[in-house]
Chain A
């Protein structure tokens, strides 16, 4: 029986075909046009777990670990799995209120997204950890504990040297081309920062597959893309932790710095900056809090004065002036000058503490007596050296000497953000004096005042040059890396010897003897050590500061530079105590104690008394101190309120955060560092 509507089969076929083509086109767009679904699928199913290696340990010269690792635990949160959880329980254990709880969850979602776990509270206190560990089953899977190694400092010392680690921020992420990830820790200052690539080791990554309930169900692609964590390598330093602790003790309640270097290798034995802090404050969960308080402290405990404090060197620069004059050949050690209490070579007389005739009869006695006239004259002789042709060239040559001695340039110590001090260029004088200036214009440079600043590290290095009779190694902490490789070139530059003068050993002897005389007969008597020949130079540096926008002369800085034993030096020290007066009063005794402790490895009971005397003395400018005290009382008030809040569990509206910002405004009125130093 023939069908009437046979042609209609084609219409039906067409309908089928068109419908299937629509499906095919949609599939084409879905599967081939973009990779967004790939990423979404990966995001769904693959979680990347970073395995953090232990950071390297730092040892002192006797093999004692001064920076190591301990375990802490972070409380992690899965924001999507909080439904029906006993959130009050968490709040009670952590002693926070629901408001804070909610804020943290929102913060976690903003930072890491809803589906990825984030840190809810980092580095749990022991108490909270114990409670949580017992009860964590009640809060899973919304919360879980994650191990995290943190840094610990067993000697509670060397904060400025060792530095601290912290969570990376977005600028670091960008700078490192996203090698780091949100939540990673890295060295942010000190050796932690400088040796970050060696200390950090290599992170491992484990890719894991999770199912629709976020449960881990196995490794992704059988671990094909996984990598193993490789522990960071250890550093061996030249630090003597005993000396370091002693130096820090003596700088207590003072602003200043102590640097001790072994001149034979350039290895730094101790580097203290006062005031300092317990580096353990910057690990653990109170890190942010402690950091912000220290940041506001007017005495600036986070500021490493040993490499960033820039001070006029005062008389401590005089041996350097002698070296330049000798190297240029404008004087011989027997050169003498008649001084009757002032230098009259220039229009304005420069005062000298000594009047007795013959106190500048030759280089050795002039050094011992620290004669201002003599060294002003030496400076002028060097700059006006006729062989160099003119003051400008003379000054340039002088500057070149200073730079080669490591003054006015960065030495290149293995710490980040070292400052270079100040030796100005001729263009500075050209601009200031309209090109008409002479050696008289800046004659103060000869006695370490004027347009000259140096860091304590630079002055200690200067002592190394004199102790070594003309050369130095760039000061540094790290002597070797455990498991050192050919590719570790980072230490190579510290093996390089810098020969900076061509003065004969005999002539050098004169300078050294002059400095030994300083201790034995001159201004540096406080640094005398029984049975050890010490060579030293005191300094009392005039300085100015900005107080409430006004430039005012402040009390002199107390300088002391030295090395010992004189015949075969093994330690060179530079000490500065800000606004403490004469060099011999405070800086001298400190330097002597450091040297004695290092050379003898022990101190007598009488000497320990001296340490205690120094430790208990407070030398801080009244202006800095009053601000500091005010901040302290605010901090105590805040702590009290926090405790109240924790016990009462009622949020206090009157948040003290606002008050502290006001104080911060006040603080900007004073600049405690000595940026303005020109006479």
Chain B
């Protein structure tokens, strides 16, 4: 290794850095547009008391961290990834005794004015650990055992996060299955996963009994048309019947069980609200207070989505212009600086602006995949795919949520949503990638 750590800029993918800067600045501008209230703009930015100035501060912190990361030897990340993972897990566990209750989440530790959300931060560590494991020299990822180990690396923090009432953040960990797919997880799992997802959505949309009949008919039609092949090979029949039993089982029993016993009632209601239905919760066993809480959450969720849709829908093609959007300027959309920040773009810059932003994100994702594929090191490639998957999941779920095609799940829009942990985490995630990529000719273990 040459003494290139002093040449900070060498090998850095400036395109990606450029996209990053554009997104963060757009984010600060959007937060400014929704929270600026006729105060003196300069002092507003310098006081670090307004939301936009705090976001600016987080941005500065991110840049400082980024510089540190870029100055770090890329081997440092492989060497320490397992330690980081353990530290992450400890942080996650520490949350349980030391958390502060903020807005119903149990995932935040607060100390001397700062808030830390380990569940958010852990994405970086999990990504590093997964990359480390998948790049082990003696790994044969075709073995079920290795697949299970990889899956549990991801799922353990996910479960811990769920226990902290942060279902949204926990779901993010599932995006790492895309990484595993790239590294050789059988396609069947992806297909099955996708099929189950379709089946669950169908369960929501179609009446239970009707869906069961449709599934049975589909199985019969398949058996009838393929009876020749079945005569030759009985196992096809067994397979079809198994699929039929599993499908009907999922839609008749598993999904209702999951909705009624695993998910919280307000979550089920949000899911149903997305497809335009009302979910009747069995309120018999609930206390009055719980029912009221649930009703409030349901109302708040529906109101959020409705106002968010109005904001984005009223943007039209060109939008109303920055700071001219009445929905976002006058607080009609709750959480509009954090989870619903996309409304500001949708309302202020319309369809054109929204598409440009989507394009920017998509370009970034493709750029990361391109970077991933040029890595000589499995560790770097796997890490890059992890970054892409996490970004993709966040962007798709967040924007899908604001335009009402995905249930309200509280996850942020990368680089744009207000919030220190979120911005710093994504920045660190990205700049580790940029640092690794700077050495892409190198095989790092």
Contact = CB atoms under 8 A, between A and B. Distances in A.
Given A20-B362, A46-B326, A211-B331, A9 B314 contact: no
A600 interface: no
Given A9-B182, A38-B316, A23 B310 contact: no
B243 interface: no
B366 A32 contact: no
- Chain A interface, DSSP helix/strand/loop, else mixed: helix
A27 B315 CA distance: 10
Interface stretch (A10-18, A147-155, A271-279, A298-306): A10-18
Interface string B300-340: 00000001011111111100000000110111100000000
Nearest to B361: A20
Contacts of B313: 30-31, 34, 36-38, 40-41
B299 to A, nearest CB: 13
Given A4-B184, A31-B346, A217 B316 contact: no
A211 B329 CA distance: 8
A409 interface: no
Given A23-B403, A45-B327, A12 B351 contact: no
Nearest to A33: B313
Contacts of B311: 41
Contacts of B400: 22-23, 26
B181 A211 contact: no
A212 interface: yes
Contact of A8 (B182, B330, B351, B361): B182
B365 A16 contact: yes
A42 B326 contact: yes
B60 interface: no
A16 B392 contact: yes
B331 A212 contact: yes
For this complex, into which size category does the number of interface residues on chain B fall? 35 or more
Interface residues of A, number: 40
A24 B330 contact: no
A212 to B, nearest CB: 4
Nearest to B317: A32
Contacts of A30: 309, 312-313, 346, 403-404
B444 to A, nearest CB: 11
A5 B329 CA distance: 48
A70 B381 CA distance: 82
B222 interface: no
Given A15-B178, A19-B396, A26 B314 contact: no
A16 to B, nearest CB: 5
B316 A23 contact: no
A27 B372 contact: no
A3 interface: yes
A209 B330 contact: yes
B354 A5 contact: no
A11 B313 CA distance: 32
A647 B184 CA distance: 86
Interface string B363-401: 001100100110011100100010010001000100110
A210 interface: yes
B330 A210 contact: yes
Contacts of B392: 16, 19
A492 interface: no
Contact of A27 (B181, B314, B332, B346): B346
A110 interface: no
A539 to B, nearest CB: 71
B358 interface: yes
B382 to A, nearest CB: 10
Contacts of A41: 310-311, 313-314, 326-327, 347
A44 to B, nearest CB: 5
Nearest to B351: A31
Contacts of B365: 16
B316 A44 contact: no
A669 interface: no
B443 interface: yes
Given A38-B316, A41-B326, A3 B310 contact: no
B405 interface: yes
A23 B317 contact: no
Given A209-B326, A210-B330, 8 more contacts: A5-B184, A12-B182, A16-B388, A26-B400, A27-B351, A27-B358, A36-B313, A41-B327
Interface of B: 178, 181-184, 190, 307, 309-317, 326-327, 329-332, 346-347, 350-351, 354-355, 358, 361-362, 365-366, 369, 372-373, 376-378, 381, 385, 388, 392, 396, 399-400, 403-405, 443
Interface of A: 1, 3-6, 8-9, 11-13, 15-17, 19-20, 22-24, 26-28, 30-32, 34, 36-38, 40-42, 44-46, 209-213, 217
